[in-house]
């Protein structure tokens, strides 16, 4: 929007007051015959209508049309159509336009509703939404991520409310359409394991590096799936005004995209160069990798046994995040041209979170690949059920001196807290292993998903697991549970 149009809109907003008393309260109405604004409660709009014989006015809060001859609000179909179109234009201008239309049941859906009139109430032990997935040949890496995605609250609510409208020329090749069908399958109430053959085929088609029946990396599949979903989701034409660093308002970017701030500081003039890049996940180094790790707990030791790296002592997810956001000296071999000094100088680089996503994905880098080394890092990393990301924000007031971290004295921001709802685990070695996942069904109910088998799990089981991908959702945007029906527990639920 140009600055001129912004000033024009501002002047229009200021004119929306009663032309008699100057107030914008008291049920403000606008005359439909001229530019007069008058309040209804103090009868200023009535006086105008009587003196000018302008008998129609619109109420500005809800859009009702008032007739002073009838002395009542009236309904006109043509005006209603115009009002809806203008409202749609206003939403689009603000970047909040609704893309979906009102649901009109088909003949088949009407028949289904006719023969299925009963509604069941939700119960605390409801298991609808829990469904196993058949392993199609080393596809456990896909199954565990699908379980995590189908139990992402906002993504679930998006697909179950039929918000997706396919705009691809061939809907059969649209991964978003397949995900929509997958959500319907998961929440249909069926208990038999689902066979995700079409999903696998589409992933192979659009992410060819994952094609084949070899063991793949679950984190790599997650990023590939988000990328394809992002490409197949066509955002609104006004997407550049969306509130995320990727300038896209598709459902994937609205939920998963955050902004990572990189500050490069010149060691000579102390000038700072800042860039902000979008991210879908945060990849964290672990103790025991070839990358120097800071800090290690006192008394920790590292060893390699059978191609696996082991570190004694305790490491937390917070430790990994502290290392991720601590200043790093780039050294003399990586000098950067300083815009202040106009010459190449040594510098430090620090990463912080400029904007947090609604759903945060943390990737613990357990697989290390290099020219000389291929191994799995089995270091235990403890993680909490709730994580506060405030200390790692760009706007945070935490001090970091000499690599040390100091907790702020004021209370932390609840907006930056995440609640854990999915954990992906890998058992075995780099060459031969198996993926499983823990997902949260209700607030305190956890289940282990091992391909076709779903079993109950305790919070202790979740927190004691190794973890390689962790997902959490922020509280302010957490969606309420969708309406679901009471269903008996599947036979494979203990």
- The pLDDT of residue 456: 94
Band of residue 279 on the pLDDT scale cut at 50, 70, 90: very high
- The whole-angstrom separation of Cα 440 and Cα 74 is 50
Enumerate the β-bridge partners of residue 353.
260, 393
What does the pLDDT average to over 274-291? Answer: 82
Q: What is the pLDDT of residues 296-316, one digit of tens each?
A: 444 444 444 444 444 556 789
- Give the CB-side neighbour count of residue 240, counting CA atoms within 13 A: 2
Element (H, E) at 198: helix 197-206
Residue 71, both tokens: 């002395």
Mean pLDDT over the full length of the chain: 78
Over 60: is that where the pLDDT of 399 sits? no
Band of residue 370 on the pLDDT scale cut at 50, 70, 90: low
Burial of 56 from C-beta contacts in 10 A (0-12 / 13-18 / 19+):
middle
Element (H, E) at 464: helix 459-464
Q: What is the DSSP pairing of strand 453-457 with strand 445-450?
A: antiparallel
- The pLDDT of residue 404: 47
Band of residue 292 on the pLDDT scale cut at 50, 70, 90: low
Enumerate the β-bridge partners of residue 47.
none
Over 50: is that where the pLDDT of 259 sits? yes
Band of residue 95 on the pLDDT scale cut at 50, 70, 90: low
Band of residue 5 on the pLDDT scale cut at 50, 70, 90: very low
- The pLDDT of residue 82: 82
Burial of 188 from C-beta contacts in 10 A (0-12 / 13-18 / 19+):
middle
Choose among 368, 355, 354: nearest CA to 302: 368
- The pLDDT of residue 289: 60
Band of residue 86 on the pLDDT scale cut at 50, 70, 90: confident
Q: What is the pLDDT of residues 24-63, one digit of tens each?
A: 777 899 999 999 999 988 899 999 999 999 999 988 877 7
- The whole-angstrom separation of Cα 131 and Cα 243 is 34
DSSP state of 393: B
- The pLDDT of residue 383: 92
What does the pLDDT average to over 96-118? Answer: 70
- The pLDDT of residue 451: 93
Q: What is the pLDDT of residues 158-172, one digit of tens each?
A: 888 877 777 777 778
- The pLDDT of residue 362: 93
Q: What is the pLDDT of residues 118-145, one digit of tens each?
A: 666 666 677 788 999 999 988 999 999 9
Handedness of CA 461, 464, 466, 470 (dihedral sign): positive
Over 90: is that where the pLDDT of 80 sits? no
Choose among 473, 417, 382: nearest CA to 156: 473
Residue 296, both tokens: 């290690």
What does the pLDDT average to over 179-188? Answer: 90
Band of residue 207 on the pLDDT scale cut at 50, 70, 90: confident
Length of the chain: 494
Read off φ and ψ for residue 111, nearest 5 degrees.
Answer: -65, -40
Over 90: is that where the pLDDT of 100 sits? no
Over 80: is that where the pLDDT of 70 sits? yes
Choose among 368, 491, 484: nearest CA to 128: 484
Give the residue with greater pLDDT, 247 vs 266. Answer: 266
- The pLDDT of residue 338: 81
Choose among 440, 432, 483, 481: nearest CA to 458: 440
Place of tokens 């008032």: 66
- The pLDDT of residue 468: 87
Lowest mean pLDDT segment, chosen from 178-182, 342-346, 379-383, 422-426 = 342-346
- The whole-angstrom separation of Cα 48 and Cα 26 is 16
Q: What is the DSSP string of 306-335?
A: TTEEEE-S-EEHHHHHHHHHS-EE--GGG-
What does the pLDDT average to over 333-358? Answer: 84
Band of residue 371 on the pLDDT scale cut at 50, 70, 90: low
Lowest mean pLDDT segment, chosen from 65-74, 84-93, 335-344 = 84-93
**Domains in the chain: ranges and CATH:** 3-93 (3.30.40.10), 114-232 (3.90.70.10)
Give the residue with greater pLDDT, 277 vs 76. Answer: 277
- Known catalytic residues? 140, 434
The SS3 call for residue 459 is: helix
Over 70: is that where the pLDDT of 97 sits? no
Lowest mean pLDDT segment, chosen from 76-90, 189-203, 422-436 = 76-90
Over 50: is that where the pLDDT of 8 sits? no
């Amino acid at each position: 929007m140009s600055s001129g149009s912004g000033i024009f809109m501002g002047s229009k907003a200021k004119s929306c007051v009663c032309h008699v008393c100057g107030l914008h309260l008291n049920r403000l109405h606008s005359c439909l015959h001229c530019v007069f604004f008058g309040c209804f409660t103090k009868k200023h709009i009535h006086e105008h209508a009587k003196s000018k014989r302008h008998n129609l006015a619109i109420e500005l809060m809800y859009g009702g049309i008032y007739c002073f001859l009838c002395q009542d609000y009236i309904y006109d179909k043509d005006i209603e159509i115009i009002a809806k179109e203008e409202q749609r234009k206003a939403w689009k201008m603000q970047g909040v336009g609704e893309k979906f239309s009102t649901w009109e049941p088909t003949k088949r859906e009407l028949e289904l509703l006719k023969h299925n009139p009963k509604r069941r109430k939700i119960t605390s032990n409801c298991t609808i939404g829990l469904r196993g997935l058949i392993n199609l040949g080393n596809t456990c890496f896909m199954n565990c991520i699908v379980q995590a995605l189908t139990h992402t609250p906002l993504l679930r609510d998006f697909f179950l409310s039929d918000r997706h409208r396919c705009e691809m020329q061939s809907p059969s090749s649209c991964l978003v359409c397949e995900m929509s069908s997958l959500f319907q399958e998961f929440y249909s109430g069926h208990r038999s394991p689902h066979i995700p053959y079409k999903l696998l085929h589409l992933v192979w088609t659009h992410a060819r590096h994952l094609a084949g029946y070899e063991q793949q990396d679950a984190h790599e599949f997650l990023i590939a799936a988000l990328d394809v979903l992002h490409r197949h989701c066509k955002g609104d034409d006004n997407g550049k005004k969306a509130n995320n660093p990727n300038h896209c308002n598709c459902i994937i970017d609205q939920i998963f995209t955050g902004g990572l701030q990189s500050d490069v500081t010149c060691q000579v003039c102390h000038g700072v160069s800042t860039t902000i890049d979008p991210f879908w996940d945060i990849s964290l180094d672990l103790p025991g990798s070839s990358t120097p790790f800071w800090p290690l707990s006192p008394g920790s030791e590292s060893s390699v046994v059978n191609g696996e790296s082991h570190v004694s002592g305790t490491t937390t997810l917070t430790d990994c995040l502290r290392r991720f956001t601590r200043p790093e000296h780039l050294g003399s071999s990586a000098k950067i041209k300083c815009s202040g000094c106009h010459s190449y100088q040594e510098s430090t680089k620090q990463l912080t979170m400029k904007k947090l996503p609604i759903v945060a994905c943390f990737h613990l880098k357990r697989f290390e690949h290099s020219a000389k080394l291929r191994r799995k890092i089995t270091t235990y990393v403890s993680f909490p059920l709730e994580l506060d990301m405030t200390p790692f924000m760009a706007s945070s007031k935490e001090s970091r001196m000499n690599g040390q971290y100091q907790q702020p004295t004021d209370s932390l921001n609840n907006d930056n807290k995440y609640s854990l709802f999915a954990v992906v685990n890998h058992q075995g070695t780099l060459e031969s292993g198996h993926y499983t996942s823990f997902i949260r069904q209700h607030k305190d109910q956890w289940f282990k998903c091992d391909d076709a088998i779903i079993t109950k799990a305790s919070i202790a089981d979740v927190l004691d697991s190794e973890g390689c991908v962790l997902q959490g959702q922020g509280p302010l945007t957490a969606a309420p549970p969708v309406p679901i029906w009471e269903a008996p527990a599947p036979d494979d639920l203990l």
